[in-house]
Amino acid sequence: MKPTLPTPPLNSALLQGFGLGLRTEHYADFGEALAPGLRPDWLEIISENYMVPGGKPLHHLDRIRRDYPMVMHGVSLSIGSSDPLDLDYLRDLKALARRVQPAWVSDHLCWTGVDHQNLHDLLPMPYTQAALAHLLPRIAQVQEILQRPLVLENVSSYVRFAADEMSEAEFVAELLRRSGCQLLLDVNNVYVSSRNHGFDPHAYIDRMPAGQVVQIHLAGHEDRGEMILDTHDAPVCEAVWQLYVYTLLRLGPKPTMIERDDKIPPLHELLQELNQARQLAAHALAQPRRSLSPKDLSPA
C-alpha cells in the first residue's frame, strides 16, 4: 500500500510545456523580452546554487522568478547513502522552496558519498531488495520534512553491481510503486545507460508508470564508441530525440526541458533546440498513441 503523501503545491498541476535550466551565463538574457514563440515556459534551478544567505544569486533568482514558473533540482540529497540524511540540508532546502514556490522539488536516485565524505558524483544504486528497503523510509522522511512529494531522477551509469537482483527499470518501477514518490525521467540517461550496459531503452520506458512521471530531461553526451559519457555539454543527438518521441507515445505529454551544464552556448541556441523539442512533441502527440515507429518521427 502506498503511503499518504503531502499535498503538492497548487502550481504543480499547472506546470506544462518546455523549460530550460537557469544558468548564470543567461541571467542578463532573462532580463530582456524574449520572443513568445521561443520563450521557455518555465525554468529549472539547481537548488544548491541558491541555498545561500543572500547576495547576487538570490537577487537574480527573485528577479527572474517574477516572470517564470520554476522547479528545483538538487544534486546533494544523497538519498541512497548509508549516512543519515542531512537534516540541516533539508531545512535549507525547505526554506528555499518556500521562497521559490516551485512546482516540485527533485534530486537524483543515487548516493553521492559515504562516511560524511561528498564524492561530488551521482553514483548508482545496487538494484536489490535491500536497497529498496533502505530507500523507502528515507524517501518518507524527506517527504515529511518538505511536506511535498519527492521527485527522483534516474541517473546514467557505467558499471553494475555484481549483487544486482533486478534490472534498473524494474528497480525504479518498484520504488515508485512502493514509495509513491514521483519520477523525473531523464531520457538521455536511459539511452546512455542502455548503450553502456546493453539493455533495450524502449523496454525501460515501457515499465515507467505514466502517472508518476512529472518531468523529462533531454541532454547531450559524449559517444566514445564502447562507452558513452553523460557530459551535458552538447546538443541532443538524433537517437535521444527518437527515444523522446517513443516516450511521449507511451507516456503522453510531459513537461520537458533541455539540460546543458558545460560548454554552455548563447541562450538563443538553447531556445532553438527547445523549439525543436516543441515541434517534435507536437508532431508525435498529434498521432494516435503508439501508432508510429520512433524512426517515422525523428527530427529533420
In a domain, 238, yes or no: yes
DSSP 156: P
DSSP 126: P
In a domain, 5, yes or no: no
The per-residue pLDDT for 133 is: 98
Report the alpha-carbon angle 154-263-23, nearest 5.
70
For residue 122, which of 79, 179, 170 has the smallest C-alpha distance? 79
The per-residue pLDDT for 297 is: 47
Give the H or E element holding residue 241: helix 238-251
Instruction: Walk along the chain (300 residues) and give the pLDDT tens digit of each residue.
Output: 455 555 444 455 447 899 999 999 999 999 887 877 779 999 999 999 999 998 999 999 999 999 999 999 999 999 999 999 999 999 999 999 999 999 999 999 999 977 777 767 899 999 999 999 999 999 999 999 999 999 999 999 999 999 999 999 999 999 999 999 999 999 999 999 999 999 999 999 999 999 999 999 999 999 998 889 999 989 999 999 999 999 999 999 999 999 999 999 999 999 999 999 999 999 998 877 654 454 554 443
DSSP character string of 260-288:
--SS---HHHHHHHHHHHHHHHHHHHTSP
**CATH number, domain containing residue 183:** 3.20.20.150
The per-residue pLDDT for 1 is: 47
Is residue 243 within 8 A of residue 205, CB to CB? The reply is yes
In a domain, 2, yes or no: no
Provide the domain count of the chain.
1
Angle (deg, nearest 10), helices 87-100 and 56-65: 40
The per-residue pLDDT for 12 is: 52
* Residue 157: count of CB within 10 angstroms of its CB: 19
In a domain, 172, yes or no: yes
In a domain, 80, yes or no: yes
- Pairing relationship of beta strands 18-21 and 256-258 according to DSSP bridges: parallel
Give the 3-state secondary structure of residue 78: coil
In a domain, 3, yes or no: no
- Cell matching residue 191: 539511452
In a domain, 1, yes or no: no
- Cell matching residue 216: 523529462
In a domain, 191, yes or no: yes
Domain of residue 79 covers: 10-297
